[in-house]
Amino acid sequence: MPFSDIVGQERPLETLRRGLEGGRLHHAYLFLGPEGVGKKSVALSLAMAIHCEEGGHDFCGQCQSCHKIRAGNHPDVRLIEPPTGKKEIGIPQIRELERELAFRSFSGRKKVAILDPADLMNYHAQNSLLKTLEEPPGDCLLILIAKGTGGLLPTLVSRCLRLSFGAPAMDVVTDVLVRRKGIPVEEAKLLARLTMGSLGEALTCDTEDLLDRRKEWIARLVSIPCGDYRAVMAFAEELAGDREGCLEFLRCIDGWYRDILRYQIGGGTEQIRNIDMEETLREKSRLWGIDHTLSVLARTSEGAREIQRNYNRRLVMENLLIKVSSFGSRVSC
């Protein structure tokens, strides 16, 4: 599987290919972009290209080194993630990484460390990593992966070469879904929109389950009577049982309200996610005020941050649903 088989990330791939071919790879990269667009896949592909037994500044995906990297057991390639049951990357992991980087590589090629997501390093871990970034061993390469720079120390960011990863074009995602998942074109188009071009999410999700959950959640959402606290609390209790389910619900609602906002401001349908529910979107965009839509979007973003920080999920969901069910929105009440 050469670099040419990776879709939708031509610009960062071109930068990396030039570095490989010229022997001028930076000692540290920061891969920035939304989840599911291929940042980790590109990082592992770069590690395979460095260690591939076929050579040629690319990777075959078939040799022993490529297989070991993909399986996570190559001695010169480390993937640093939060430990099982933990929410952050701590200083013991960074100190262990620094200890390993101080030794010579087993293969005679570069040692590669991939930190994903790098913005889950706590403050002390980031400060510890700074020493390695300031005085890197000559045969090591660090790749930090994050959605944005907000959770990273500016001094750490400044020592990395930043590469931006965007969502592939919708038609590219649609084509890949049709070829790899074997689903009908119209269903693939809808899935590409719902995942906002996140190819990783679109390929790994259960399409039928995702579409069914989305319709159920939106139907429940729009049917909550204004001021019905009992309905709000019952729905919040159902959602609060699962952390990942809460985050998925918040992404769904965020997409729904962004669609409504596009109709309210007179935007076209090109960027509409829930295109199969266009009639309902038009109806709600007329009933609800823009101020209400914006306040719900702000609440969904804050709710996602709170869930990730391990706030009480039931209270987070209640606060959101109270806002969604239009308490204080005179238009829909």
The whole-number pLDDT of residue 133 equals 92
Kindly report the number of other CB atoms within 10 A of residue 142's CB atom.
Answer: 25
pLDDT at residue 194 is higher than 90: no
pLDDT single digits (tens) 217-245: 998 888 888 778 888 999 999 999 888 89
Residues 123 and 8 in one domain: yes
Give me the domain span that covers residue 313: 206-324
Residues 30 and 153 in one domain: yes
pLDDT single digits (tens) 282-320: 888 888 889 989 999 999 999 988 988 789 999 999 999
pLDDT single digits (tens) 81-122: 999 888 899 999 999 999 999 888 888 899 999 999 999 999
pLDDT single digits (tens) 247-295: 989 989 999 999 999 999 887 677 788 988 888 898 888 888 899 899 9
* Residue that has been written with the tokens 């920035």 in this structure: 32
Residues 7 and 20 in one domain: yes
d(CA 148, CA 152): 8
- Among 45, 96, 95, smallest CA distance to 70 is for 45
The whole-number pLDDT of residue 328 equals 41
pTM summary value: 0.75
- CA 46 to the chain's CA centroid: 19
Instruction: Give the 3-state secondary structure of residue 17.
Output: helix
pLDDT at residue 2 is higher than 90: no
Helix runs in 265-289, H state only: 278-287
CATH number of domain containing 254: 1.20.272
Q: Considering the domain boundaries, does residue 179 fall inside one? A: yes
pLDDT band at 326 (very low <50, low <70, confident <90, very high): low
The whole-number pLDDT of residue 1 equals 56
Q: Domain total for the chain?
A: 3
